[in-house]
A and B are shown apart, each in its own frame.
Chain A
């Protein structure tokens, strides 16, 4: 029983965790924005807007 409880707590996101409540969502949002920026840059290269 003790073992099961420990296992389940490891496979669920802990409640009240600063990492999972704050850092992860912000990181995901920022990375999504940066990804879009890089895709736009690459598209700019393709369209000849960005010289290389």
Chain B
């Protein structure tokens, strides 16, 4: 068992504490941004747990959870929480409806992909992020060492592809950039914007630092996911772990109690 097999367990435990901490705040304050953050963090945790499980054994429903919650949805739900915090307008509810419907649509696409999964290619010798996708090879492109290939018809052409668990061109994979672009823009953009507002007003240094840490953590996982897309999946779990630590630390930092005088100016700074 390699370090990469252990990291998701650690990330899962951190995300569990983080999720409970955020949801506790939701149940006390009833503010929707805590709910969306809590759901997004629970998805992040589910993805980490699925990685940990898939390091030991195969289960198609765990893979379902890993891809849908861990790869596709969690950033968007986290970011939507930030949108609720920063923008108190009615159109945010319409975005919520789009997010929920889009998530259900992605879930349905993932359900449709389940019977087509190439389970035979799964191995516990490799982490799941290095074996989930089937990738068509360009003409003359060398086959990666140790990879299994398959010749299949794709978009009307016969292609050679590196075998992966999800079939070539699985529609659910096309949904992930939409969710991740939205998640990056709202979660990272929202944290940067919040940090900038507090910094410009010269108040609440804890929220400046907290938001910087949250933005850094969210960017880190985005960066690690991008590396996975480029074929460097071995960094994903380390990125997830640091991301979980940075975001949790940022949340704790930003949530520190403030003196009453300054708390009154906070909503103005956040709006």
The reply to whether A11 and B203 contact each other, CB–CB distance below 8 Å, is yes
Cross-chain contact of B204 among A11, A24, A35, A46 (Cβ < 8 A): A11
Cross-chain contact of A52 among B135, B204, B205 (Cβ < 8 A): B135
Assuming A42-B177, A43-B181, is B205 touching A13 (CB within 8 A)? yes
Which residues of the other chain, B, contact A10 by a CB distance below 8 angstroms?
Answer: 205, 259
**Once the chains are docked, how many angstroms separate the CA of A24 from the CA of B135?**
40
CB distance from B105 to the nearest CB of A (A): 16
The reply to whether B215 and A31 contact each other, CB–CB distance below 8 Å, is yes
In the complex, B104 has a CB within 8 A of chain A: no
The reply to whether A20 and B208 contact each other, CB–CB distance below 8 Å, is yes
Which residues of the other chain, B, contact A24 by a CB distance below 8 angstroms?
Answer: 195, 199, 208-209, 212
The reply to whether B199 and A34 contact each other, CB–CB distance below 8 Å, is no
CB distance from A26 to the nearest CB of B (A): 11
In the complex, B31 has a CB within 8 A of chain A: no
Cross-chain contact of A20 among B192, B205, B259 (Cβ < 8 A): B205
**Once the chains are docked, how many angstroms separate the CA of A27 from the CA of B270?**
20
**Once the chains are docked, how many angstroms separate the CA of A23 from the CA of B85?**
26
Which residues of the other chain, B, contact A45 by a CB distance below 8 angstroms?
Answer: 177, 229
The reply to whether B192 and A8 contact each other, CB–CB distance below 8 Å, is no
Interface of B toward A, CB cutoff 8 Å: 133, 135-136, 138, 173-174, 177-178, 180-181, 184-185, 188-189, 192, 195-196, 199, 202-205, 208-209, 212, 215-216, 219, 222-223, 226, 229, 258-259, 261-262
CB-defined A-B contacts under 8 Å, sample of 20: A7-B259, A8-B261, A10-B205, A13-B205, A14-B205, A20-B199, A24-B208, A25-B199, A27-B216, A28-B195, A28-B215, A31-B192, A31-B215, A31-B216, A31-B219, A35-B215, A38-B222, A42-B177, A43-B181, A51-B135
